[in-house]
Amino acid sequence: MARIYDSRKRILVTGGAGFLGSHLIDRLLSQGHEIICVDNLFTGTKRNIDHLHNHPRFEFMRHDVCFPLYVEVDEIYNLACPASPIHYQHDPVQTTKTSVHGAINMLGLAKRLKCKIMQASTSEVYGDPVVHPQTEAYWGNVNPIGTRSCYDEGKRCAETLFFDYHRQHGVGIKVARIFNTYGPRMHLKDGRVVSNFISQALVGEDITLYGDGSQTRSFCYVDDLIEAFERLMDTDAAVTGPINLGNPVEHTMVELAEAVLKITGSRSKVVHQALPADDPTRRRPDISLAKEILKWEPKVKLDDGLRKTTEYFKSLI
């Protein structure tokens, strides 16, 4: 039987000291739940959860999900994995282990506890897409042996494990495919385009634009994404996903650079460098399923989100 005794849940968030995990924990605590935050602090940071250490319903455990974990909880959000190229390419074997072994360990826990578990998957499962925008029915165009494969294929394998545990063992699963998300608590040097552009602009460095800048991304502000997480977890058992979560408004890298320069008031120059290997040229989610099932779509406009993110980066710099 599930552990829930009343409306207050005990919830496990792996990767809880990371960018998305820490925001999710704030939201869950605000609703009265008890939180166990698990993180090995490879890319997560205690700075993101410092404000919670004296909270009576918050517990931090330094632990690597590649190893089994024995706790008693009502729900699991599995967010543990380096998510930016500069971090997941630092130790690609460990990145794959985190996705695959981490999924096995957390699914095993969910199986034992008979509780729901949500997997933070990624738009990278689509690779460099030949279908645009990407729907959940698209199987992707992924290089299995490239420098990004540790993350792309690791997340694809994790999805496989989630659905096999669901079919074979009856585990209640939710799979979210997350598209580019930004906001406060992003790592200053994570190599992602929003972090790069803002940090470079704030210190007056050249803004590095890869390729000709015509490649596109769709940027979702973190508060919007966390709301979608919660709505997905609260759906009935028949809803497993995968469900695309992201902003369907597409922007070129040139447009993003111009927006950052305007918001920061920087005089940084834009310089062009070669496009990294296997970097997708277009990325935009079809969020029809999220609109239909979750009654959700992003609300925060790019300029508003960039201003909030810039203020956070200023506090770091």
307 alpha-carbon distance from chain centroid: 20
The DSSP letter of residue 48 is G
3-state secondary structure of 38: strand
Radius of gyration of the chain (CA): 19
How far is it, in rounded angstroms, from Cα 138 to Cα 152?
15
Query: Is the distance from CB of 64 to CB of 91 less than 8 angstroms?
Result: no
273 alpha-carbon distance from chain centroid: 26
For the stretch 55-61, contacts whose Cβ atoms lie closer than 8 Å and that sit 24 or more positions apart, written own/partner, are 55/29, 57/29, 57/32, 57/33, 58/25, 58/29, 58/34, 59/34, 59/35, 60/16, 60/17, 61/36, 61/37
Query: Is the distance from CB of 181 to CB of 246 less than 8 angstroms?
Result: yes
How far is it, in rounded angstroms, from Cα 150 to Cα 154?
6
Q: How many other CB atoms are there within 10 angstroms of residue 111's CB atom?
A: 16
Active site residues: 151
User: Computed from CA positions of residues 60, 64, 70, 72, in that sequence, does the dihedral angle turn out positive or negative?
Assistant: positive
Sort 106 into a burial class: Cβ within 10 Å, 0-12 / 13-18 / 19+: buried
Contacts of 85 (CB under 8 A, 6+ apart): 148, 151, 191, 192, 276
Query: Is the distance from CB of 216 to CB of 283 less than 8 angstroms?
Result: yes
3-state secondary structure of 253: helix
